[in-house]
Amino acid sequence: MVWPKALQECLAEDERFHTTLTENLSLGGETWQLRLQEADIVHRMFGLLSHAANPRHIDLSDHPELIERITQLYNESQRQGRR
């Protein structure tokens, strides 16, 4: 299944981003570029979550706790986007 690998890669990229954020800023990294990079990571992560939230795309019926958490994250992101 491609989806779990894509999500793992996105989460790893997010972790690397936050781990090196202070270093990048101290080396003169442009704030706007770092914000753009972070926005790209978050955009891909929510795309993967919205894909998983649709049962037509991914069958997670054997992982009810994962379904519940993905649904919560998806709903929270939708509420945040409306503000």
Per-residue model confidence (pLDDT) at position 6:
87
| pLDDT tens digits, one per residue of 39-83 | 999 899 888 888 877 778 877 788 788 778 877 877 877 776 665
Q: How far apart are CA 15 and CA 80, in angstroms?
A: 22
| pLDDT tens digits, one per residue of 21-33 | 888 778 777 888 8
Q: How far apart are CA 51 and CA 48, in angstroms?
A: 5
Judged against a pLDDT cut of 60, whether residue 1 lies above it is answered with no
CB-CB contact of 21 with 14 (8 Å) = no
Q: How far apart are CA 34 and CA 13, in angstroms?
A: 13
Judged against a pLDDT cut of 90, whether residue 5 lies above it is answered with no
Per-residue model confidence (pLDDT) at position 44:
92
